[in-house]
Structure 1
Amino acid sequence: MSVDVEDWFQVQAFADAIPRDEWDYLSCRVEANTEQVLERFAEAGVRATFFTLGWVAQRYPALVRRIVDAGHELASHGNGHERVDAIGAEAFRADIRKARMLLEDAGGVAVRGYRAPTFSIGPHTPWAHQVLAEEGYRYSSSIFPVKHDLYGAPDAPRGPHRPHPDGVLELPMTTVRAFGRSLPCSGGGWFRLAPYQLFRAGLQRVNQMEARPGIFYFHPWELDPEQPRVFQARPLSRFRHYTGLPTMGARLDRLLRDFAWGSMSDVFALELAEPAMPAKLRAMAG
């Protein structure tokens, strides 16, 4: 179970409609919405991973501390919610370094996990996993093995793997194979749009037929149907963002009951315990 901690105005769907320099002047709802997430998890007895923006940690350090104090794993969602494939390797390095510093200062714990904004790590960022390793991260959950207009790496492996031999472990978003292609089964807008029974069946198939865990994600703003409307955004963006918000809470509560959940580090402990072989040792072994 994972949560991408960002506010309603920071999503990629509104990037063309809301200038970044206006963020500090908008109504911030991330603190109250994340508190609601923490309450739901506490009631269900669920431990999760909170992939949190450095931007949020800088402004709401007490919220980050509450996440940690509740027993959840604190991880990085980058600093400013910028697409990795748009900013380049050096800006990416600076972004994840700053985010980790802010998160660790606020939470008082080591941050080892990372998820790219808008799943923007893929074929166009072959350097990303190595940079993450060099900056002290242990794993990424940033690749979505599907075809999508905003993201996706449809040819990527569907299970844990190391895209770069000297890079971090990648824990890709969950998909199911059907009709000769990989279909998303991880959360986000797909979870709000698809019939709940269909989504549950997809996760059960991954658990039972493929004998491996699934990864689910959502955002705190998805539990906030009263959030401001961005009418200047494109119709498709508005549809993706707002559809299903009124019923999201009930669907999430049902999902928490129907499956056993844990943090990324707990669920994938065995995979994370296997270190990557450095290039020098691989050369010697060859």
Structure 2
Amino acid sequence: MSAPPLRNAMSVDVEDWFQVQAYAGAISRDRWEGLDRRVEANTERVLAIFERAGVRATFFTLGWVAERHPALIRRIVAGGHELASHGHGHELVHQIGLDRFRADIRRAKRVLEDIGGVAVRGYRAPTFSIGPKLTPWAHDVLAEEGHAYSSSLFPIRHDLYGDAEAPRDPWLPSVMGVPELPMTTVRAIGRNLPCSGGGWFRLVPYPVFRTGLRRVNGVERRPGIFYFHPWEVDPGQPHVPEASRGARFRHRVGLESMVHRLEKLLRDFRWDRMDAVFADTIGGAAAAPSAPQRQAA
């Protein structure tokens, strides 16, 4: 008898289209307030997709977004999803340093908990910008500020983030810190290849991605972690001509087909919240029972 399919962790990094790192050199932070905010409508679309699929997920949400869209935060919680932190201002952790990092995650946690009315246990760094080499203090600070886990490290080689030498499985970077739940990779051709969402998911043919995640689940018997952003379901978002050609391609590739691919992914695998899938690693049960799941293909 074959083993039952594993549950994978579905996650959403709740930020708006103008806050992405690819546009950091083209859209200054002081312009944010005057730009077209689309994050609420896009996240509502994501919530509807999850509801139709019977999936609960973890929403790593910016405090900046929560302050401006409190009703959205309450709808995320009301849907049975896990509310987690993406920090407050979407600043790279290895650039802002320990003291500003502490202030940033403390502010975000307070805002999210005050609005959502639930404990915020999870954290994901903007652009996967923490790790034992760049920020050896980060996991300790997260524990000191009341977090239970981080999902902030991508064990790949990438021009913006990642540490190819980091473990592929959940691990404890510091005895006094929180555990790290690294983004999913597949080991092939002598290197770690990304298998966790983002631009890679929109770029590679869907069957290739599906094969990789099936290998992680079936051969390695490991749960995967998938992530995407609300702006990825919004091909009508504004263009940014002042950004470089590479940045524009990285941001917009595959947006038109993202919803269709996401819906296939939700059908082909079993999904749940981060705190449910990794309950044994982070300690304690999820704050809400798992939603009914469709049988994976």
TM-score range, shorter chain: over 0.9
Match of 1:78 in 2: 87
Once residues 205 and 85 of structure 1 are traced to their aligned partners in structure 2, the CA distance between those partners, rounded to angstroms, is 33
Q: Secondary structure at the match of 1:216?
A: strand
Match of 1:40 in 2: 49
- The letter for the 1-side match of 2:84 is A
Once residues 51 and 121 of structure 2 are traced to their aligned partners in structure 1, the CA distance between those partners, rounded to angstroms, is 23
Aligned identity (percent) is 69
Once residues 243 and 56 of structure 1 are traced to their aligned partners in structure 2, the CA distance between those partners, rounded to angstroms, is 24
Q: 1:254 aligned to 2:264?
A: yes
Alignment of 1:121-132 (within 5 A): 121-122=130-131, 123-132=133-142
Once residues 56 and 66 of structure 1 are traced to their aligned partners in structure 2, the CA distance between those partners, rounded to angstroms, is 14
Q: 1:223 aligned to 2:233?
A: yes
Once residues 158 and 243 of structure 1 are traced to their aligned partners in structure 2, the CA distance between those partners, rounded to angstroms, is 27
Match of 2:213 in 1: 203
Structure 1 unmatched runs, 5+:
275-286
Once residues 113 and 273 of structure 1 are traced to their aligned partners in structure 2, the CA distance between those partners, rounded to angstroms, is 12
Structure 1 runs (4+) greater than 3 angstroms displaced: none
Q: Secondary structure at the match of 2:146?
A: coil
Once residues 281 and 85 of structure 2 are traced to their aligned partners in structure 1, the CA distance between those partners, rounded to angstroms, is 19
Aligned-pair distance for 1:179? 0.5
Q: 1:3 aligned to 2:12?
A: yes
Aligned-pair distance for 1:271? 1.1
Match of 2:192 in 1: 182
Once residues 111 and 271 of structure 1 are traced to their aligned partners in structure 2, the CA distance between those partners, rounded to angstroms, is 16
- The letter for the 1-side match of 2:103 is A
Q: 1:263 aligned to 2:267?
A: no
- The letter for the 1-side match of 2:222 is R
Alignment of 1:1-286 (within 5 A): 1-122=10-131, 123-273=133-283
> What is the CA deviation profile of residues 221-277 of structure 1, one whole-angstrom value per residue up to 9, with x for unaligned ones?
000000000010011110000010000000000000000000000000111128xxx
> What is the CA deviation profile of residues 187-208 of structure 1, one whole-angstrom value per residue up to 9, with x for unaligned ones?
0000000000000000000001
Once residues 224 and 120 of structure 2 are traced to their aligned partners in structure 1, the CA distance between those partners, rounded to angstroms, is 22
Q: Secondary structure at the match of 1:169?
A: coil
Q: Secondary structure at the match of 1:261?
A: strand
Match of 2:293 in 1: none
- The letter for the 1-side match of 2:268 is D
- The letter for the 1-side match of 2:270 is A
Scaled by the length of structure 2, the TM-score of the pair is 0.92
Measured on the aligned residues, the alpha-carbon RMSD in Å equals 0.7
Once residues 53 and 272 of structure 1 are traced to their aligned partners in structure 2, the CA distance between those partners, rounded to angstroms, is 22
- How many residue pairs match? The answer is 274
- The letter for the 1-side match of 2:97 is G
- The letter for the 1-side match of 2:46 is V
Structure 2 unmatched runs, 5+:
1-9, 285-297
- The letter for the 2-side match of 1:69 is A
Scaled by the length of structure 1, the TM-score of the pair is 0.95
Once residues 126 and 174 of structure 2 are traced to their aligned partners in structure 1, the CA distance between those partners, rounded to angstroms, is 20
